[in-house]
Amino acid sequence: MSIKEKIETLREYLKKNREYIGEVIFGYKTKEGKQFDIYLLIAIVISVIGVILSSNEQIKNSYGILLTLIEWVFTILFTIEYALRIYTAKNKRKYIFSFMGIVDLLSIVPTYLFFFYPPIHVLVDIRVIRLIRIFRIYGLTRYMRGANTMQIALRSSRPKITVFLLFLSITVTVIGTLMYIIEGQSNGFEDIPKSIYWTIVTITTVGYGDVVPLTAAGRSLAALLMILGYAIIALPTGIVSAEITKEVEQQKSNLKNKEILDKLDELQKKFDELKNESKDSSY
């Protein structure tokens, strides 16, 4: 059988079994779908471990060829899987531009870009994001609901956090400029951008070890900045926490209202049944 005939045979098989293949790849309720996802997760874990190990120079010198070969095998398999997902997807555009669709694509692209820019190869570690599918395989949907609550809370907090970041940007710019003036363009404060960088790492309590203020005014301002840093760290945490609490209470309220409506529906049905029975007995 020629290569052309083999390709044609494969095309016919895919066409006839498109629905079944789609159920295996995208589904997780069937035995085949669950097995496929488990094997896929195992392959992702092995692939990511291989990339991590290859970043070690000693391991790379000893097993570099083997690790590269393994990586290319997994990349080809993931490429075939990605192509099958597009082929069997009910809405191709929706899958391609979905979060997981973009992750699936980004998990294979770095290997092919290796020939143009070798360091980009390690970005295949983005495959680890695909392990999110483990939640659906083992029915851990309650954790996904928790993540959804967090996402809603962060979205609700966005206006407040935006104002906070704007205030923070103004603060570090002003203090960075003052440090540049106070320290006299020395002691590491050579220009305003470096002074602003020092301000950012100081206000986040990280510390910029090789640059310290030497003047009394500079040290006083630095001390004030460090104290301010604790308040700045606590503020966004409080904003998000408040929104999470609000969202949880809203969900509880919605659930309670739903339960009340369900009970009212049941009572209405019972009332209708009694009404019909009374009509029948009157005849």
Decide: 249 and 242 in contact? Cβ < 8 Å: no
Residues 58 and 168 in one domain: no
Q: Are 221 and 182 in contact (CB under 8 A)?
A: yes
Query: End of a domain among 76, 105, 139?
Result: 139
32 plus 106 within the same structural domain: yes
One domain for residues 129 and 176: no
Both 210 and 107 in one domain: the answer is no
pLDDT in tens, 199-219: 888 887 766 667 778 888 888
- Tokens at residue 138, please? 């083992």
pLDDT band at 95 (very low <50, low <70, confident <90, very high): confident
CATH of the domain at 259: 1.10.287.70
Residue 276: what pLDDT?
64
Inform me whether the pLDDT recorded for 33 exceeds 60: yes
Residue-range definition of the domain harbouring residue 248: 144-282
At 92, the amino acid letter reads K
Q: Write down the pLDDT at residue 141.
A: 52
pLDDT of residue 252: 65
- Over residues 91-105, the mean pLDDT reads 86
pLDDT over 80 (residue 82): yes
Burial class of residue 94 in the structure, from the number of CB atoms within 10 Å of its CB (0-12 exposed, 13-18 middle, 19+ buried): exposed
Asked whether residue 8 falls in the same domain as residue 133, the answer is yes
**pLDDT given for residue 257 in this prediction:** 63
CB 229, CB 198: distance < 8 Å: no
Kindly tell me if the per-residue pLDDT of 281 is higher than 60.
Answer: no
Same domain for 68 and 101: yes
Is it the case that residue 282 has pLDDT exceeding 80?
A: no
Greatest Cα-to-Cα distance within the chain, rounded to the nearest angstrom: 104
Q: What is the pLDDT of residue 192?
A: 85
Instruction: Write down the pTM of the prediction.
Output: 0.56
pLDDT in tens, 217-260: 888 888 888 888 777 776 666 666 666 677 667 666 666 666 67
Q: Which residues contact 55 (CB under 8 A, 6 or more apart)?
A: 122
**Does the structure show a pLDDT above 80 at 263?**
no
Q: What is the mean pLDDT of residues 30-54?
A: 83
Do 149 and 275 fall within a single domain?
Answer: yes
What token pair was written down for 25? Answer: 């790849």
Same domain, 157 and 195: yes
For residues 239 and 157, the answer to whether their CB atoms sit within 8 Å is yes
Q: Are residues 131 and 191 in the same domain?
A: no
Q: Which of 115, 139, 163 is the last residue of a domain?
A: 139
| 265 and 176 within one domain | yes
One domain for residues 174 and 267? yes
- Per the structure, how many domains does the chain have? 2
The residue among 139, 174, 201 that closes a domain is 139
- pLDDT tens-place string over residues 45-55: 888 888 888 87
Rounded CA separation 156/158 (Å): 6
pLDDT of residue 279: 56
Read off the CATH number of the domain in which 12 is found. 1.20.120.350
DSSP 197-233: HHHHHHHTT---TT----SHHHHHHHHHHHHHHHHHH
The answer to whether residue 268 scores a pLDDT higher than 70 is no
Mean pLDDT value across the chain:
76
Minimal CA–CA distance to 195: which of 177, 174, 210?
Answer: 177
Does residue 115 sit in the same domain as residue 156?
no
